[in-house]
Structures are given as C-alpha cells and as structure tokens.
Amino acid sequence: MELSQPTHLSRRAVEDHSRQYAMFTLVYPVISRRSHGLSLGVNLNPDKVCNFDCIYCEVDRRTPGRVSRVNVNQLYDELVALIRFVKEGGLAKETRFDGLPPWLTSDIKDIAFSGDGEPTMIDHFAECVQTVADIRQAEGLDTTKLVLITDAAGLDKADVKRGLEILDANHGEIWGKLDAGTEPYFRLVNRTTIRFDRILKNLLETARVRPIVIQSLFLKVHGEPMPAAELSAHCDRLTELVKDGARIKEVHAYTVARPTPEAFATKLTKDELEAMAETIRQRTGLPVSAFE
C-alpha cells in the first residue's frame, strides 16, 4: 500500500495526527507519509507553548494544555509502553489503524519530537533526547530514526545544541522549518516576534555541522498561493544556505492536511504543490519531495 496514493482506510490513518492517544500524555502513534510509515510522536509541549503562531497550525490554543512540564520518568514509562504495544501488534487491532498491512503498524520508522508547540522551548531538551535515545537502544530499534521537527528558532540554545549532538550519535535527523523567503511573508504565515534572519542563521549553523531536512509548508492565503516572487525568494534563501556551507539532504514541500485556526488558510491542490516543488528543484538543484 503506497502512502503517496492512500486508500480510504489508509488516508484516515495518515490524516489523523492526534496527539491524544489512549491514556498517554506525552507519546502518540501516527502513520506519516513524510516518515514513510509508522512514527511515534513525543510531545514535549503538552502545555501548548510555542514561539510561533502559524496561521495553519491545528493546535487549539484556546484550551489549556494538560500538564505544564515534561516529567522525564513519565516520558520513559510511556514511550517504553507504546513501543512494546507496537511490537506486540497492538496497533493493528485499533479501529483507527484497521485494514492497514501489518508492516505499517509494527515497523517503527522514527520517533519524532513533535507536539503541541516547539520542542526546543523546554529547559531540559537534552535530557529528554537522551532518555529517548536510551530507550531506542534498549529496545533494539537500530534502524529507527530520531527526528526533531522544529521551527529552528531555538537551535542556537546551549542545551538544544547538546541535544542535537545526542541525536547525531543516535541515527538522528533534524527537520527545520522554512515557510517563507522574506521577512514580511514569514510574519504573515508564522506570526512570530522572532526575526527571520535568526531562523536563517540557526538553519545555517545547524546544517554546517550535520545534514538537515528543510520542511516548507505551502498554502493558500485568502485563496491565493504563495506569490511567484516569494517562491523565488524562498529558493534564493535555500541557495544562499547551501552556498554558505549548509548541508541540505532534502526539502519536504507539503501543504495543509488538517483543519486550520484561520478560515483563510487553505490547502493547495496536488498539482499546485507539485508545481512549486518542481520550481524549487529547478532553481536550487536540491532534491524535493512533495506531500499533499
């Protein structure tokens, strides 16, 4: 079953990225097209705190988060329990995953730090990463990646850098957000007080140390896709990063998949997204994967 051409059953599983699963608070399973299969999410922001307020973010920030701080012992217990549940074939018996082939619900492609906010904002990020890395090793998940999905604003923090080093030593990968090519469009889409040049600097410095993936969400704003000039600027930023020494493994171009907090923020069609991805390929020479 190809994730790029999901059936009704697999589409339901792919589009459901709920971070509330069973009795767990900090971990959850999803079928991820970008991960090419089963991803176990680690929610380091159950408090819903984030330094971005993206117009496309599906997190409901009107209701308070469940807990204010990640307890490392709880994280350990929950993740071990979920991993063993997966290994025992538990997911295949869940209605949400019904009808999927066994490999899709038992082969853990990655464990991703991705939750209700920005993972790098917590003050014990490195400790949490080490805990997950220790579990990965103890559970024999040799081929399972550790993935940090980040808006890149906190990649310059000392504790985060220590966490990145732990990722490097444990089959880790960083997916850094770059949704814009200019400061005005960055503020329009990501709605943050953080400067765009800080994001670019953090991506550059991080990618000079190890290869990273750039993740770019493209959408329509008030019915209009990203203007051609803005997409051109986005390509320029990528080209500049590479020229200055950034190692970019791939660009993930994707669009809105779930309900957004702003009615004017809507998804691109498959053809529109692929056209943008092709522009990036042609302009930058980088490999680009498009995920509708």
Counting Cβ atoms within 10 Å, is residue 160 exposed (0-12), middle (13-18) or buried (19+)?
Answer: buried
Question: Which residue spans of the chain are classified as CATH 3.20.20.70?
Answer: 178-292
Give Cβ neighbours of residue 265 (< 8 Å, ≥ 6 apart).
55, 56, 219, 220, 221, 256
Prediction pTM value: 0.91
**pLDDT for res 21:** 60
Q: Is 21 left (phi over 0), alpha (psi -120 to 50) or beta?
A: beta
Which CATH architecture group holds 178-292? Alpha-Beta Barrel (3.20)
Q: pLDDT by residue for the chain (292 residues), tens digit each?
A: 344 444 443 445 444 444 566 689 999 999 998 999 999 999 999 999 999 999 999 888 777 777 778 999 999 999 999 999 999 999 988 888 888 888 899 999 999 999 899 999 999 999 999 999 999 999 999 999 999 999 999 999 999 999 999 999 999 999 999 999 999 999 999 999 999 999 999 999 999 999 999 999 999 999 999 999 999 999 999 999 999 999 999 999 999 988 898 999 999 999 999 999 999 999 999 999 999 8
